[in-house]
Each structure stands twice: as C-alpha cells, then as structure tokens.
Amino acid sequence: MEEKKQSIINQSSHSEFLLLEFSEVRELQILHFFVFLVYYLATVTGNLLIISAVASDHRLHTPMYFFLMNLAMQDLGQVSVIIPKSMANSLMNTRHISYFGCVAQIFFFLFFVASDFSLLTVMAYDRYIAICNPLQYEMLMNKQACIQMIASVWITGFLHAVLHTGGTFGLPFCSNVVNQFFCEIPPLLKLVCSDLNLIEIGALVLSVVIAFCCFIFIIITYVHIFTSVLRIPSTEGKQKAFSTCLPHLTVFSIFVTISVFTYLKPTSTSPSHLDLVFSMIYSMVPPLINPIIYSMRNKEIKNALSKHFL
C-alpha cells in the first residue's frame, strides 16, 4: 500500500507541481494579483524604455550602452518567466504548474540570472578599459569584441541553465508540493527521494567557482579603477569617472548582497516568511531598480528618452 502511494506521488510529480499560495483568502489573492500587476508593468516599462532609448539614439551606440541594453533585456526576461504565472494562479485561485512549465521556468530563470551576473563582469571590464586604458578603448572594445563578449555572456547563461535544470529534473521526486511561489531549485531539491547525483553536484561546484572568480575579478577591477581615478588631477574629471562607474557598482553591490543573504542563510525544512521575503527580493527587486539606477543620474539616457517621447 505504501509503495502504491509512493508511486502515485511520483507520477503526479511528473505531470504537475503545486506552488505555494500567498494566501487562501480570496480577497488577498486578488490583492496579490493587482500588486504584482503594478510591479510587472512598472518593471517592463522601465526596461523597455532603456532598450528603446539605446536602440533609437545613435549617440548611445557605444559599448557601455550596448551592454546596458542587454542587461535590460535580461531583467525583462527574468520577471516575465515567473511573475505572469504567479499572477494567473492568484487570479484563477489555483496553485498548479505543469511539469514542463516548471522545467521551463527554472531553465529560463537560471538562464537570465546567470547571464546577468556574467554581463556585470563584462561591464566591469568595460569600465576598467575606459578609465585605466582610455587610449586603447576603441581598439579593445570594438564592435566585434563587444559582440563576442555578449555572445559569451548568453552562452554561459545557457550552459549554466542546462546543467542545473538537467541535474535537478534527472532526480526522482517524492512530492510535487513546491514550497515557493515559483519553481526554484532549492525547494525542488528538498523533494527528491535520493541523494544529489554527480551532475547536479558538479554543476553546483562549477557555478560556485565561476561566480567566485567573477566576483574576485570585479573587485580587482574596481581597485584598479579607484586607483586610477584618484590620480586624476581635476575634481571634475574624478566626478565624471566616478559617475560612469557608480550605477554599475550599485547594481553589482545589490546583486551580491541579495544573493549572499538568500543563499547563505540557514536552511529550514519548512518555508518561513523570511525565506519568501528573500526569494521575492532577489527575483523581483533588481529588474525593477536596475533601469532606475542607470537612468536616474544619466543625462544621455534622459536626453534620449526626452527626444524619443516628447
């Protein structure tokens, strides 16, 4: 009887998963829908404005803004993977997501997040060349080099997503109840019936090593940048150099801070309100604030938007 019950659970886990509800109260579900709708529209609008501004203004056809446009595309993709499904579930009072829907959600979420971190590393290199080696900037950051860097960013994200998605869904699940409002690897790994396989362990180790190397690279890059900026004789020159680095440094700091608090906090068998808060922060906050950070003190972006819409 127990084996039969286990078989039924395993079969159901291969047809659908049940996501965590924000509330069982219908009024709160509707509230959740409208709150997420406002957030989603604001995030989509902000990132589309960045993309349209860079694409439409030839003065912004530089490596820095080319990378910024790709960052906006990644943020747009990240929120579009998880938010619409959560909104639909709240509106229709359901918790279901299909097995392949969960696979796709994890794959694309990992794809965009990994690409995001890789792109932040490339953007740090771009700022390093611009400030520390300005005379070689046009030669080192030419069109072909930028395309190759962006291609490597997207390929890295793709391989990261393939490894983790394949490693996770290659394991047997003993339950189909995901303690998260979207499909995510840590809650899914708590549902497996066996130990982690070598593929997932290898993917985790590889991801940690790559992330650590990127982190160290960015830190070293900014040490050289700050050293070069401090050597600039004029105050105006220092301010201009810092202003080009401040948005990227802010975005990177937020990304790292949220990731550290999310993944280094103590794990628990049951989801806590703190777990859900951190998950919402790292999955929803960066895509919303990134376009704000990059456009708030950027005159070129403001001028391009004004010219485009006024």
| 63 or 240, higher pLDDT | 63
Evaluate whether 270 touches 142 at the Cβ level (below 8 Å): no
Instruction: Give the pLDDT confidence score for residue 26 in this predicted structure.
Output: 85
Q: Give which of 215, 173, 168, 179 is closest to 8, Cα–Cα.
A: 173
Of 75-84, 228-237, 269-278, 292-301, the one with minimum mean pLDDT is 269-278
Q: Is the pLDDT of residue 137 over 60?
A: yes
Domain range for 205 is 2-309
Distances (CA, A) of 201 to 158, 161, 182, 189, 238: 18, 14, 22, 12, 45
Mean pLDDT of 218-227: 89
Mean pLDDT of 132-146: 90
Other CB atoms within a 10 A radius of the CB of residue 97 amount to: 23
* pLDDT tier for residue 47 given thresholds of 50, 70 and 90: very high
Cα diameter, the chain? 80
Q: What gap in Å lies between CA 115 and CA 119, rounded to an integer? A: 6
The mean pLDDT of the chain is: 82
CATH of the domain at 137: 1.20.1070.10
Q: Percent of the chain at pLDDT above 70?
A: 86
Which tens digit of pLDDT belongs to each residue from 17-34? 988 887 788 888 899 899
Mean pLDDT of 86-115: 91
Name every residue whose Cβ is closer than 8 Å to that of residue 100 and which is 6 or more positions away in sequence. Answer: none
Structurally, how many domains does the chain consist of? 1
Name every residue whose Cβ is closer than 8 Å to that of residue 149 and which is 6 or more positions away in sequence. Answer: 67, 122, 125
Which tens digit of pLDDT belongs to each residue from 230-252? 887 877 777 777 777 878 888 88
* pLDDT tier for residue 258 given thresholds of 50, 70 and 90: confident
Instruction: Give the pLDDT confidence score for residue 6 in this predicted structure.
Output: 46
Of 27-36, 79-88, 280-289, the one with minimum mean pLDDT is 280-289
In the chain, the DSSP E strands lie at 16-18, 96-98
Instruction: Give the pLDDT confidence score for residue 172 in this predicted structure.
Output: 83
Q: What is the DSSP string of 60-113?
A: G-SHHHHHHHHHHHHHHHHHHHHHHHHHHHHHHT--EEEHHHHHHHHHHHHHHH
The conformation of residue 133, written as its DSSP 8-state character, comes to -
